[in-house]
Structure 1
Amino acid sequence: MQEKLVFRWFENRVDPYPDRPPASTPRGFFTFLWAGTEGMRPFIAGMTLLTAAIGVFEALLFAMLGRVVDWLAAVEPARLWAEEGGTLLLLGGIVLASIVLVAVQTLLKHQALAGNFPMRLRWNYHRLLLGQSMSFFQDEFAGRVSAKVMQTALAVRDTCMILTDILVFVIIYFITMVVVVAGFDAWLLLPFLGWLALYGVALRWFVPRLSKVSRAQADARALMVGRITDAYTNIATVKLFSHAGREAGYARSAMKEFMHTVHGQMRLVSGIEIVNHTLSMLLIMATAGVALWLWTQGEVGLGAVAAASAMALRLNGMSHWVMWEMASLFENVGTVQDGINTLSRPRTVLDHPGAQALVVPRGEVRFEQVGFAYGAQGENARRVIDDFSLTIRPGEKIGLVGRSGAGKSTLVNLLLRFHDLESGRILIDGQDIAGVTQESLRAAIGMVTQDTSLLHRSVRDNILYGRPDATEEQMVAAARRAEAHEFILTLSDPKGRTGYDAHVGERGVKLSGGQRQRIAIARVMLKDAPILLLDEATSALDSEVETAIQESLYRLMEGKTVVAIAHRLSTIAAMDRLIVMDGGRIVEEGDHRSLLARGGLYARLWAHQSGGFLGDELDEEEGALA
C-alpha cells in the first residue's frame, strides 16, 4: 500500500491535461523540442542531475572494487577486517545509498515523465489540430494526421529522454572512468581513447544515414496508415464498387515504399552490430594487454588490472546500448522533424487579438462585395465568389439556387468562416464575423447537411452535441420533433447497449441515411441557434417521413434567419425569397412564381428538373432544385 502511495505521488506531479490553450509550435527542431517540454522541465532537470550522479557512482564503483582487490592481495585474510573494516563498511554504506539515488531517479523517469510526458503532448497537439482550418483537413488523410500526433508525441519524449538521461549518463560515466583509469596509470588510457576515436568514426558514419532513412520511414509509415484508414473510413464505397482488391493494391504500394525504408534501415543495423562488436573485442584485448604489461613492469597493482578490465567489459555492453540509443535518437529526430511539418503548420483562420463573442439579437446577415477563390491566386484565377452582395433580413428565409459549382456551398462555408475572405466582409447584426470568435460565430448557427456524419458514440452523445447542457427531457423532445424517438428506442449495438445509449458506428454507419438525417435534425433542433443553414436537410428521407417532420422543420425555422441550399420544392416554396447564383454572382432573385415567369436561369433549371412540366399549383410540384 505504501509503495502505491509513493508511485501515485510521483505520477500526480505532472498534469497530462492542462487547461491552458496550447501555443503554436515553432518550426525549428530544438525550439520545437523546448516548447514540448513546457511544464516538464523541473522534472527533466531533476532526473538529469540524478542520472549524472549515478554515472559518477558507477564509474567510481570500479575504482572501489580495484582498491578492494589490492587489499586482498596485500593483507592477510585474518587481518582484513581489523585493518580495512571501517573502509569496507563505508563503501557498503555508499553502495546502499546509491539505491535511494537510483530509486528517486527511476521514479522521476518512469512515474512522473514516461507516461505523462507523451500524453501531455498528445493532448496539446490534438487541441492544436482541432483549431486548424477546414482546408488543412481537406488536404490530409485523417489517419495520417492522427498517426503524426501519436508518433511525434512519443518521439519528442524519447528524444528528450535520450539527450537528458542516457547521453548524460554515458558522458559523465566516461569522463569519470577516464579520471579513474588515469589515476592508475596514464598508459591505460590509450586503449580507451583509441576505442573512443574509432567509435566516434562509426557513429559519424552510421547515425546520419540512420537519421535519413528514419525520416523517410516515418513519412512512409504515416502514408501507409493513412491509406489503410482511408479504406476503412470509406468501406461502403469500397464494397459498392467491388474495389477491395484495388484498395489492397493501393495500400500495398504504400507498404512497399515503407518496406524499402525498412530494408535500408536493417542493413545499417547489421553493419552497426558487426562494427560495434569488433570495436568492443579490440578494446577488451587492448585494455587487458596494456594492464598486464604494466603489471609485469610493476607499474600497477592487481586492482588496476581488475578495474580496467572490468571497465572495458562494461563498455562492451554499454557500447551496444549507446549505439542503439543513438540510432533510436536519430530515428526519433526524423520522426519529430516529420511531425513538425504537420504540427507547426500555421493556421489559416485565426481569431483576431481581442476578438469578442458574437451577439445575435436580431439575426440580420449581410454580404458586402464578397470575393473568394480557392488555392493559389493569380490574374487569371477564377473566383468562386465574385463581388457578392446580399442582405438577409432578420427572420427572413431564403433559398440558394444554382448549378453545381455556382458557389452556394462556398457561400455557406464563408458565413461559417471556414475560410477567410479575399475581399469584402460578412456582417451578422452589424458585426463583422472576421472580428468575433469562431466559437461564438458557429454557436449562433445551426446547420443540417445532406451528407450527415455522426460521431462514433451513443445516440445521446450525438444529439447532445447540439447543446451539451440540455436535460434528458429536452433531448428526447428534440428527438420526437425530428421523428427520431421511435426508431431510436429500437436500436442496439454489439455490446448490448440499447436506445439512446446504443453506439452508431463510425460516421453513423450502423444507421440508414434517413435515420442519420433525423438524428442530425434533432441535434440542430436542440441547439436552437438563431441562424439556420439547411443543405438538402430532408434529401435522405422517404416521402412519408419527410412529410412527418416537415412541420417540425417549419417550427424550427420560426423566428430564425434561414439559408437553405437546393431544397425540395416543399421547402423552397416556404422560402420568402430565392437567390439564383451563377459563377459566384447573383443573377436572379424573387419568389418561385416570379422567377418562373421571368424565364431565366431559374426557369431553365426548373424545366430541366421537372422534365419540362411546370405545374400551376405549388402543392402539386414534385421536383427539386439543384
Structure 2
Amino acid sequence: MLFRRFESLLDVFRPSPDREPPPGILGFYVHYLGQAWPLLLAVLVVGFFAALIEVALFDFLGRLIDMAQATPSTEFFQRYRGELLWMLLVVLLIRPLVFGLHDLLANQAITPNLTNLVRWQNHRYVLGQSLSFFQNDFAGRIAQRIMQTGPALRDSAMQVVDALWHVLVYAGSALYLFAAADPRLMLPLGLWILGYGLLLGYFVPRIKERSARASAARSSLMGRVVDGYSNVTTLKLFAHSREEEGYAREAMQRLLDKVRRQTRTVTALDFSVTCLNGLLIGATGALALWLWSQALISTGAIALTLGLVIRINNMAEWIMWVVNGIFENVGTVQDGMRTIVQPRQVLDRVDAQPLRVSQGTVRFEQIHFHYGKADGVIGGLDLQVGAGEKIGLVGPSGAGKSTLVSLLLRLYDLQDGRILIDGQDIAAVTQESLRAQIAVVTQDTALLHRSIRDNLRYGKPEASDAELLEAVRKARAETFIGQLDDGQGGRGLDAQVGERGVKLSGGQRQRIAIARVLLKNAPILVLDEATSALDSEVEAAIQESLDTLMQGKTVIAIAHRLSTIARMDRLVVIDQGQIVESGSHAQLLERGGLYARLWQHQTGGFVGVE
C-alpha cells in the first residue's frame, strides 16, 4: 500500500502538449524535469536532512570521546543520559525514517515514473514524424535513442540532486566544525576544495565530450545490428554473413575506440583525486596531532577531524564517480536529442478540421513534388477522379504512380498545387481523419508482430469476431488462418505472425491486408500492386472479393500487371511525373501509344490477346 502510494505520485501518461522538445540541453532537461519538480524538490530537502544527520553523528562522536575522557565512568550515563537517549533516537528511528523516505521518493516515485514519462512523450512525438524521417535512419538507432534518453536524463538529474547537499553540507559543516576546534584546521580542507574544483573543471568537459561520442557510436552499432537482424533473410540468401560481420565489427571497433578514450579520462581523474585525497588526510591528520600536542585541541577534536576527513575522502571519490556518471548520462541525452529534437516535416494546421467525405471525388490540381531533389518527380500534374470512379494508374517504374498515392495520403507535403477531396484541401484537414477515409492495400504488406486478430483490427478496432470472420471469408483467407499454429499456444486468429509477418507467405499476408481493408470500409480505396504477391489461381479466387470491395467506392489502382486493371473505368498513363494518356483499355490500345507498347510487352507481342 505504501509503495503504491508513492508510485502514484507521478502520472507517466499525464496529458501533455504533443510538441517538439526544446533544442538546447538545459531547456530539454527543464522541459521534462519540470513535470516532476515537486518530487525532485522533496528529494533535495530530504537529502539535506540525511546529510545533516550524517555530519551530526561525526560531531557527536568527537564530543563523546571528550565526554568520556572528562567524566568518571560511574557518573557518565547519569550525567549524559538525555543526550545519549537523543542520539539513540536519531540512530534507531529518525535516521532510518529519513533515509527510508529518500529511498521511497527516489526508487518508487521518481526512478520508474520519470524514466517512462520521458520515453512515452518522446515516443509520441517521434511517432508523429513524417515517413522520410524513418526512411533516413535506422529503426534500431531511433528505438535505442528513445529508450536510453529516459534513464540517462533521470540518472543525471538524481545524481545532481543527491550530490548537491552532500557536497554543500559536508564541506560547509566540516569547515564550521574545524573552525570551532581551531581555525588552522580549515587550511588543508580549503586547499583540497580548491584543488578538487580545478580537477573537475579540467576533466569534466572532456568526459562529457567523449561520453557523447561513445553514446553516438553505441547508437550506430545498435542500428547496424538491428538492421542485420531485420533483414536476416536477405543476408542468408546472398550468403553475406562475413560481410555483415565486418559491417557490425566496424561499428563495434568505433565504439570500442570511443569508450577507451572515455575510460582513459576517467582513470586519470580517479588517480588524480586519489592523490589529492591522500594529501588531505595526511595534512589534516598531521596538523591535528600537532595542535593536540600543543594542547590547542582536544582528543575528541582529533577524532572528529580525522573522521570527517576520511568521510569527505570517501564522499569525494563518490562525487567523482557521480560527476562522471552525470556527464556520461548528459552525453547520452545529447545523443538522443539528435533524433528526438527534430521538427516534424508534415504538420496539421492549427485550424485543421476533420475531413468529411460524402461522395469521394478526388482532384489533383497542378501539383509539384520532388522529394527534395533538383529535378521534379511530379511537375504540374492535373487529374480528376469522379465520385465512385475506378481508375488505373499505368506507367513504367519511376514514373510517379506510387508517389501520387503517397501525396494523396499526405505522407509528404506538396511543393506547389493542391489535392482536394470533395472540395476540401487535404493540407487543411487533420492527417488522422484523411487517412481514416482512405483504405490502402500495398505491394509489400508488412504486418505487425502481433496476432492475426490484432492485425485485422487495425482496420476497425471495435470489430466483433463475427465481423472479423466475415472479412476473412471474403478475402478467401479462412482456410489457412484456421490451420495456423505459432508454436507458442496461439492458434487461428490468435496466432502470432512474426516480425513484419515473416511466418506467413506473401500471398497469405496480402489476403490478411485485403481482409483488413474490407473491415475498414473506407469510401476511397487505393490498390498499389494489391495482387502482385498472389499466384494466378489465388488472384482469380479473390478477384470477386475485390470487386465487392470496390463497389460504391472511388478507386485508384496501380498495377504493372496490366490485365488486373484493364477493366477499370479509365486508365491514366503516367510517364516522368506527367499524364501522357487517358482513356479506356480499348481506346488506349487503338491509340498505339505508351500503354499499347506496355501491353504488347506483357502479351508477347499479341496485342489482340484479351
| TM-score of the aligned structures, taking structure 2 as reference length | 0.98
Q: State the partner residue of 1:502.
A: 495
- Structure 2 CA distance for partners of 1:21 and 1:481, relative to 1, 3 Å: farther
One-letter amino acid of the structure 2 residue matched with residue 32 of structure 1: F
Q: State the partner residue of 2:299.
A: 302
Measure how far apart 1:21 and its partner are. 4.7
Provide, for residues 359-403 of structure 1, a one-character-per-residue CA deviation record: whole Å limited to 9, x for no partner: 111100011111111125xxxx21111011111100101111111
One-letter amino acid of the structure 2 residue matched with residue 204 of structure 1: G
Matched-pair contact (CA < 8 Å) for 2:288–2:305: yes
Structure 2 residue 523 is matched with structure 1 residue 530: yes
Alignment of 1:234-253 (within 5 A): 234-253=231-250
Matched-pair contact (CA < 8 Å) for 1:413–1:419: yes
Q: Following the alignment from structure 2 to structure 1, what is the Cα–Cα distance between the partners of residues 210 and 175? A: 34
Q: Following the alignment from structure 1 to structure 2, what is the Cα–Cα distance between the partners of residues 171 and 375? A: 55
Matched-pair contact (CA < 8 Å) for 1:55–1:170: no
Measure how far apart 1:19 and its partner are. 4.2
Q: State the partner residue of 1:622.
A: none
Q: Following the alignment from structure 2 to structure 1, what is the Cα–Cα distance between the partners of residues 475 and 454? A: 16
Structure 2 residue 353 is matched with structure 1 residue 356: yes
Q: State the partner residue of 2:195.
A: 198
Provide, for residues 345-366 of structure 1, a one-character-per-residue CA deviation record: whole Å limited to 9, x for no partner: 0001111002111111110001
The gaps in structure 2 that reach 5 residues or longer are none
Matched-pair contact (CA < 8 Å) for 1:447–1:533: yes
Matched-pair contact (CA < 8 Å) for 2:213–2:258: yes
3-state DSSP of counterpart to 1:14: coil
One-letter amino acid of the structure 2 residue matched with residue 285 of structure 1: G
3-state DSSP of counterpart to 1:574: coil
Measure how far apart 1:166 and its partner are. 2.2
Q: Following the alignment from structure 1 to structure 2, what is the Cα–Cα distance between the partners of residues 168 and 227? A: 42
Provide, for residues 553-595 of structure 1, a one-character-per-residue CA deviation record: whole Å limited to 9, x for no partner: 0100001111111253343122111111111111111111111
The gaps in structure 1 that reach 5 residues or longer are 619-626
Q: State the partner residue of 1:369.
A: 366
3-state DSSP of counterpart to 1:40: helix
Aligned mate of 2:52, from 34, 51, 56: 56
Measure how far apart 1:269 and its partner are. 2.6
Aligned mate of 2:256, from 254, 259, 264: 259
3-state DSSP of counterpart to 1:36: helix
Q: State the partner residue of 1:88.
A: 84
Matched-pair contact (CA < 8 Å) for 1:132–1:349: yes
Q: State the partner residue of 1:623.
A: none
Structure 2 residue 18 is matched with structure 1 residue 25: no
Matched-pair contact (CA < 8 Å) for 1:27–1:341: no
Matched-pair contact (CA < 8 Å) for 2:456–2:515: yes
Alignment of 1:167-316 (within 5 A): 167-316=164-313
Q: Following the alignment from structure 1 to structure 2, what is the Cα–Cα distance between the partners of residues 285 and 529? A: 81
- Structure 2 CA distance for partners of 1:255 and 1:281, relative to 1, 3 Å: same
Structure 2 residue 64 is matched with structure 1 residue 68: yes
Q: 55-64 vs 90-99, which deviates more?
A: 90-99
Q: 593-602 vs 219-228, which deviates more?
A: 593-602
Matched-pair contact (CA < 8 Å) for 1:158–1:332: yes
Q: Following the alignment from structure 2 to structure 1, what is the Cα–Cα distance between the partners of residues 333 and 562? A: 54
Structure 2 residue 35 is matched with structure 1 residue 39: yes
Structure 2 residue 592 is matched with structure 1 residue 599: yes
One-letter amino acid of the structure 2 residue matched with residue 292 of structure 1: L
Matched-pair contact (CA < 8 Å) for 2:562–2:599: no
Q: Following the alignment from structure 2 to structure 1, what is the Cα–Cα distance between the partners of residues 604 and 305? A: 96
Provide, for residues 488-536 of structure 1, a one-character-per-residue CA deviation record: whole Å limited to 9, x for no partner: 1111113121111110100001111111111111111111111111011
One-letter amino acid of the structure 2 residue matched with residue 427 of structure 1: L
Aligned mate of 1:7, from 3, 27, 52: 3
Q: State the partner residue of 2:539.
A: 546
Measure how far apart 1:22 and its partner are. 3.3
Q: 597-606 vs 567-576, which deviates more?
A: 567-576
Q: State the partner residue of 2:128.
A: 131
Measure how far apart 1:298 and its partner are. 1.4
Q: Following the alignment from structure 2 to structure 1, what is the Cα–Cα distance between the partners of residues 594 and 46? A: 78
Q: State the Cα RMSD in Å.
A: 1.3
Matched-pair contact (CA < 8 Å) for 1:537–1:567: no
3-state DSSP of counterpart to 1:39: helix
Measure how far apart 1:287 and its partner are. 1.2
Q: State the partner residue of 1:458.
A: 451
Q: Following the alignment from structure 1 to structure 2, what is the Cα–Cα distance between the partners of residues 117 and 22? A: 17
Measure how far apart 1:12 and its partner are. 1.5
One-letter amino acid of the structure 1 residue matched with residue 603 of structure 2: S
Q: Following the alignment from structure 1 to structure 2, what is the Cα–Cα distance between the partners of residues 420 and 38? A: 34
Q: Following the alignment from structure 1 to structure 2, what is the Cα–Cα distance between the partners of residues 136 and 151? A: 19
3-state DSSP of counterpart to 1:283: helix
Matched-pair contact (CA < 8 Å) for 1:40–1:117: yes
Q: State the partner residue of 2:481.
A: 488
Measure how far apart 1:284 and its partner are. 1.1
Provide, for residues 458-488 of structure 1, a one-character-per-residue CA deviation record: whole Å limited to 9, x for no partner: 0110111111100011011111111111101
Q: Following the alignment from structure 1 to structure 2, what is the Cα–Cα distance between the partners of residues 290 and 240? A: 76
Aligned mate of 1:434, from 427, 435, 438: 427
Q: State the partner residue of 1:326.
A: 323
One-letter amino acid of the structure 2 residue matched with residue 384 of structure 1: V
Structure 2 residue 405 is matched with structure 1 residue 409: no
Provide, for residues 426-480 of structure 1, a one-character-per-residue CA deviation record: whole Å limited to 9, x for no partner: 1111111111110000010100111110000001101111111000110111111
Structure 2 residue 604 is matched with structure 1 residue 611: yes
Q: Following the alignment from structure 2 to structure 1, what is the Cα–Cα distance between the partners of residues 174 and 279? A: 18
Measure how far apart 1:165 and its partner are. 2.2
One-letter amino acid of the structure 2 residue matched with residue 458 of structure 1: S
3-state DSSP of counterpart to 1:189: helix
Measure how far apart 1:105 and its partner are. 1.5
Q: Following the alignment from structure 1 to structure 2, what is the Cα–Cα distance between the partners of residues 21 and 235? A: 39
3-state DSSP of counterpart to 1:466: coil
Matched-pair contact (CA < 8 Å) for 1:474–1:526: yes
One-letter amino acid of the structure 2 residue matched with residue 311 of structure 1: L
Aligned mate of 2:386, from 375, 381, 393: 393
Percent of aligned pairs sharing the same letter: 51
Q: Following the alignment from structure 1 to structure 2, what is the Cα–Cα distance between the partners of residues 447 and 63? A: 75
Q: State the partner residue of 2:157.
A: 160
Q: 142-151 vs 282-291, which deviates more?
A: 282-291
- Structure 2 CA distance for partners of 1:163 and 1:351, relative to 1, 3 Å: same
3-state DSSP of counterpart to 1:426: strand
Aligned pairs, how many? 609
Provide, for residues 303-357 of structure 1, a one-character-per-residue CA deviation record: whole Å limited to 9, x for no partner: 1110110011112211211111101111111111111121110001111002111
